[in-house]
Structure 1
């Protein structure tokens, strides 16, 4: 039986590309370290725990989200993915060299959710990506 709740649709959210006065190497090292995410998370974080694969966090009023590192391309990109098989999404951090001492950083979210979940999470995910961007800009 077909249902609007079973059909998955792609969700792509792109954060603002920001310029930082740090080298690609510095930013890569920061975003490859789970502890950095504790510093750049939104202020309404309720929980943050590092584990052997990545980290688990919870924002006030939201369920826990477990992320694990999926891919690390030195000085270029870090990909975190859902640690739960029931959720299909990636959080990407793109790093692009501008000069030896500056680079741009952009967070993107790519996922597949049913229409109901997509409608529920789109605004919080946009806010989350915006908060991560603001957080990394302040480092």
Structure 2
């Protein structure tokens, strides 16, 4: 399953956006209002939970400055990635798109498609105000 957020324009350079997304503690500022838990576990790993959903642990798997950050599931039964793609518009602005990829059975995919789409859209649209 592949889901993409809308492309969001950010009034910061790609490097500034990359640096912000590289620090996992900054993801707390991007979380939706229905977050029930957020905890940094290690320098590159954090746990979060949304009301009514199980806890999810994400770990930074790859960082290609200043264009790409890959977070992946760290443990748990589901294997997925959250990819932040950063594109330069000019020296002082960039465009960010979040991409969610994972292998799920059709029943699970049907159940999580809408909440995950909404979640990555919330994360992406929160970036310009959080940086």
Q: TM-score, normalised by structure 2?
A: 0.95
| 1:82 aligned onto 2:108 | no
Match of 1:50 in 2: 40
Moved over 6 A (4+): none
1:109-130 CA deviation, whole Å, 9 max, x = no partner?
0000111111110110011011
Match of 1:101 in 2: 92
CA distance in structure 1 between the partners assigned to 2:37 and 2:84 by the alignment = 22
1:58-103 CA deviation, whole Å, 9 max, x = no partner?
0000000000000000110000000016311100000011110000
1:22-52 CA deviation, whole Å, 9 max, x = no partner?
0011100100011110000111000000011
CA contact (8 A) 2:82 2:98 kept: yes
SS at match of 2:29: helix
Q: What RMSD in Å do the two structures reach over aligned CA positions?
A: 0.9
Match of 1:7 in 2: none
Q: TM-score, normalised by structure 1?
A: 0.90
CA contact (8 A) 2:11 2:128 kept: no
